[in-house]
Amino acid sequence: MRIVSTIAEARGAVRALRTNGRSIGLVPTMGALHAGHVSLVRAAREQCDAVVVSIFVNPTQFGPNEDFAKYPRTWDADCALLESEGVDLILAPIATEMYPAGASTFVEVEGVSDRLDGASRPGHFRGVSTVVAKLFHIVSPDKAFFGQKDAAQVAVLRKMVRDLNFDLELVVCPTVREADGLALSSRNRYLSVEERRQALVLSRALQRVEERVAQGVLDAATLIDDALAVLASEPGIRLDYFKVVDPDTLEDVADVRNSALAAIAVFVGPTRLIDNAVIAPPR
């Protein structure tokens, strides 16, 4: 496994991996790796000849009062994990490589970037789409792997790939959860034992919605009321949003007759957690 920190080295290393028409899979991450990230790496291994993982805590996707400085950085453990997973190349650029002094070009996917997390975190998706577009240009992957856990990010990046004609396939992998339902997240490391318990209310609320849909409840307002009732059972948390939306546009839907996304964000103590469920109505 090779580790590179400059874009020039990355381009050279990718060229070497691509010989004899070998396909390249890219897994963009911010490090602090867990089993969710590993699931993307394994999917990339299965579907591509060579796997590139980027580790970059991207400053432009954090708001001024967010956790950029304290975001968990577990470099040695990340490298050991990726080595054991058979990754070919880690691209771990320093910030000035990705954003050279004076850089003033950004990618903005209008509309969809202002919904769900984009509404709560202004500028977040501009940072995400800019850094992912840069990684796509540097690595030119055949496939890029993202988690369903970040459903709004998937909607933004799908649209970016289409609108800007990126010649790659975006592969979305299912959310990996702990046995008790909590979606894995690098930010789960912030949680105290009590907050970890409170955080289970996210998956409980989504489960309730799935049960209600299975019973034939298709009206979005009713499903939201049901989810809010579950969330109210955990007064220690603060709701950011619970929405039922179209998975591509992230706009509110009135009912879930077509496939829809139930998406939630809450603050557990100071930690903001997200989760979602793809709603497929019973036939």
136 binds ligand AMP (CB under 6 A): no
Q: Which residue has the tokens 């109210």?
A: 232
DSSP letters for 79-138:
HHHHHHTT--EEE---HHHHS-TT-------TTGGGSTHHHHSTTHHHHHHHHHHHHHHH
Q: Does 176 bind ligand AMP (CB under 6 A)?
A: yes
Work out whether 121 is an interface residue with ligand AMP (CB under 6 A): no
- How far apart (Å, rounded) are the C-alpha atoms in residues 85 and 3? 14
Residue nearest ligand AMP (C-beta atom): 147
Three-state secondary-structure class, residue 253? coil
Q: Which residue lies nearer to ligand AMP by CB, 149 or 159? A: 149
Minimum distance of ligand AMP from residue 250's CB (angstroms): 15
Choice between 225 and 248, CB closer to ligand AMP: 248
Residue 37 CB, shortest distance to ligand AMP, in Å, is 5
Query: How far apart are alpha carbons 218 and 78 in whole angstroms?
Result: 42
Instruction: Give the burial class of 54: count Cβ atoms within 10 A of its Cβ; 0-12 exposed, 13-18 middle, 19 or more buried.
Output: buried
- Is position 137 annotated as part of the catalytic site? no
Of 180-199, binders to ligand AMP (CB under 6 A) are 183-186
37 contributes a contact to ligand AMP by CB under 6 A: yes
Q: Give yes or no for residue 261 binding ligand AMP (CB under 6 A).
A: no
Q: Summarize as ranges the residues that interact with ligand AMP (CB under 6 A).
A: 29-30, 36-37, 39-40, 146-147, 149-150, 173, 175-176, 183-186
